[in-house]
Chains A and B, each alone.
Chain A
Amino acid sequence: MGVIGEAWSWLATGSHWSGGDGVWHRLGQHLYLTLVCLVISCAIALPVAVALGHIGKGGALAVNISNAGRAVPTFAVLVLLLLSPLGTHGDWPTVIALVLFAVPPLLTNAYVGMREADREVVEAARGMGMTGGQLIARVELPLAFPLIMTGVRSAAVQVVATATLAALPGGGGLGRIITAGFRTTDTAQVVAGAVLVAALALLIEGLFIGLQWLLDPMRRRGGRTAVAGRRPPADQAPKAPAVPDPAG
């Protein structure tokens, strides 16, 4: 396949990596946008989800937000924000769109994680006289951690993908290499850019899987205490997709 070879030689050409349109600069923009938006979305979504999960209210909200996030096209939101009065304010339309699409997975997963924290353990902790704050910090959050991190990982992947699309209305990031390739009908450049974007997305996904494993409080706890083996599997990674009631 000729195009694959051409894409490879595009990537192997040093001049494509330097300068304002170069890969390094675009990668830097992409990572910066991803990090900033991920931090903003976590700061918005996680406290809300943890609070709602703790008091056990707002489940419908968590589900509906994630359904709405799926139905609304990212591309449409990016363009709508660009044409809105915000459009003249540099990166703001992109940042807002990225945050909007990162919030649903964060909110839903963290909420479900808090709700699925083993009720018996929570009741026991309450019976021991733990206050609400202690309950959240010492019991619910550690138990919800795997799902919270799953949410953060989905959000990160979502942000990387949305940041790529942001190149269509003229935002920065690796997507610009693809769109520039389309503009000049340079298929080799399009494919090279796509390879870079896909690699970045997979790398981010892998990075967060690693982080999830490294940071899991129950994993460390399990290493130290003897009761680890008897622990109910409530802290185990998310179950199969939520399957509605099988009939019969």
Chain B
Amino acid sequence: MAGQSCLISNDWICGEYVRTRSQELTDATVQHVWITLASVAIGLVVALPLALLARRWRVVAGPVLGLTTVLYTVPSLAMFSLLLPFFGVSAAVVITGLVLYSLTILVRNILAGLASVPEEAREAARGMGYGPVRLLFGVELPLALPALMAGLRITTVSTVSLTTVGAIIGYGGLGNLIYEGMQSYFKAQVLTASVLCVALAIVADLLLLGVQRLLTPWARSGGAKARKKARKDGKRARTKARTA
């Protein structure tokens, strides 16, 4: 083994592979990241109005939740194949499929988050003269953030993992390398791409956790203590408002 190239002996772990193909690895990672980002961003943009519609009209809620559940059941390979005639061989196939998958969890979590907003907070905002739009963006969505972010994290992690299947049409990011490695029995390539993919999922999850903590500073110390304090502060603010 000594001195022999790990590329020739087809080892699982091969520093030489990472060195010589770093450009290929970077390109695949970049493609993986932008497919994931585009899918999750579009998913969020589509899920929010759907959730609001489902909340506004109960008639809409059933079909929306039902349809997104049905979509979630369709295996990824079939999903991409079914979208192929509509978009041809392009990244749009993969992104559309991933958006459809993301809706299931995003719509549900946004709904759950909005349902958890205390009625008093809504009443208070209305009393302060908030219109429906300002109420939504100024009060309801911020309070729904923990649930929304939890859904976003789940969606992002599974999107990173499902993107690999896009390799079937050549738009799978790191999945492309896994696919090529499978065809040529190139162990180092498959293992490196797989590990990078898992690392990508973990990094994305941690980043979103960080974003969530930045956006919800009131929840940072977490747990009952913070809630008790918030309640006390609220009470104090209310009494202050009354005496003023």
B146 CB, nearest partner CB in chain A, Å:
5
User: Is B46 an interface residue, CB under 8 A from the partner?
Assistant: no
Q: Which residues of B contact A (CB under 8 A)?
A: 70, 73-79, 81-82, 84-85, 105, 108-109, 111-113, 115-118, 121, 143-144, 146-147, 150-151, 154, 157-158, 160-162, 164-165, 167-169, 175, 178-179, 181-182, 185, 187, 190-191, 193-194, 197-198, 201-202, 205, 216, 218-219, 222-223, 226-227, 230-231, 234
Q: Please tell me if the beta carbons of B167 and A76 are within 8 angstroms of each other in the complex.
A: no
Q: Please tell me if the beta carbons of A73 and B194 are within 8 angstroms of each other in the complex.
A: yes
25 A-B residue pairs with Cβ-Cβ distance under 8 Å, sorted by A, are A4-B85, A67-B157, A71-B157, A71-B161, A75-B167, A76-B178, A76-B197, A79-B182, A79-B194, A80-B191, A83-B185, A164-B77, A169-B182, A175-B75, A178-B77, A187-B84, A190-B81, A191-B81, A194-B78, A198-B74, A201-B74, A241-B112, A243-B109, A243-B116, A244-B150
Give CA–CA (A169, B168) in the complex, Å: 11
Among A1, A181, A244, A246, max chain B CB count under 10 A is at A246
Among A71, A77, A197, A198, max chain B CB count under 10 A is at A71
Q: Please tell me if the beta carbons of A245 and B164 are within 8 angstroms of each other in the complex.
A: no
User: Chain A residue with minimal CB distance to B182?
Assistant: A79
User: Is A161 an interface residue, CB under 8 A from the partner?
Assistant: yes
User: Is A70 an interface residue, CB under 8 A from the partner?
Assistant: yes
B17 CB, nearest partner CB in chain A, Å:
14
Q: Please tell me if the beta carbons of B175 and A194 are within 8 angstroms of each other in the complex.
A: no
User: Chain B residue with minimal CB distance to A203?
Assistant: B73
User: Which residues of chain A in 62-116 are interfacial with respect to chain B, using CB atoms and an 8 Å cutoff?
Assistant: 67, 70-77, 79-80, 82-83
Q: Please tell me if the beta carbons of A72 and B198 are within 8 angstroms of each other in the complex.
A: yes
8 Å CB contact of A197 from B75, B117, B190? B75
In the bound complex, residues from chain A placing their C-beta under 8 Å from that of B143 are: 246-248
8 Å CB contact of A194 from B77, B146, B223? B77
Q: Please tell me if the beta carbons of B146 and A178 are within 8 angstroms of each other in the complex.
A: no
Q: Please tell me if the beta carbons of A75 and B74 are within 8 angstroms of each other in the complex.
A: no
Give CA–CA (A136, B156) in the complex, Å: 37
Given A243-B147, A246-B147, also A70-B185 (CB < 8 A): no
User: Is A205 an interface residue, CB under 8 A from the partner?
Assistant: yes
In the bound complex, residues from chain A placing their C-beta under 8 Å from that of B222 are: 245
In the bound complex, residues from chain A placing their C-beta under 8 Å from that of B75 are: 160-161, 164-165, 175, 197-198, 201
Give CA–CA (A141, B205) in the complex, Å: 34
B184 CB, nearest partner CB in chain A, Å:
10
User: Is A227 an interface residue, CB under 8 A from the partner?
Assistant: no
Give CA–CA (A197, B202) in the complex, Å: 30
Given A241-B112, A248-B143, also A75-B219 (CB < 8 A): no
In the bound complex, residues from chain B placing their C-beta under 8 Å from that of A39 are: none
In the bound complex, residues from chain A placing their C-beta under 8 Å from that of B116 are: 243, 246
Give CA–CA (A178, B74) in the complex, Å: 14
Q: Please tell me if the beta carbons of B77 and A247 are within 8 angstroms of each other in the complex.
A: no
User: Is A23 an interface residue, CB under 8 A from the partner?
Assistant: no
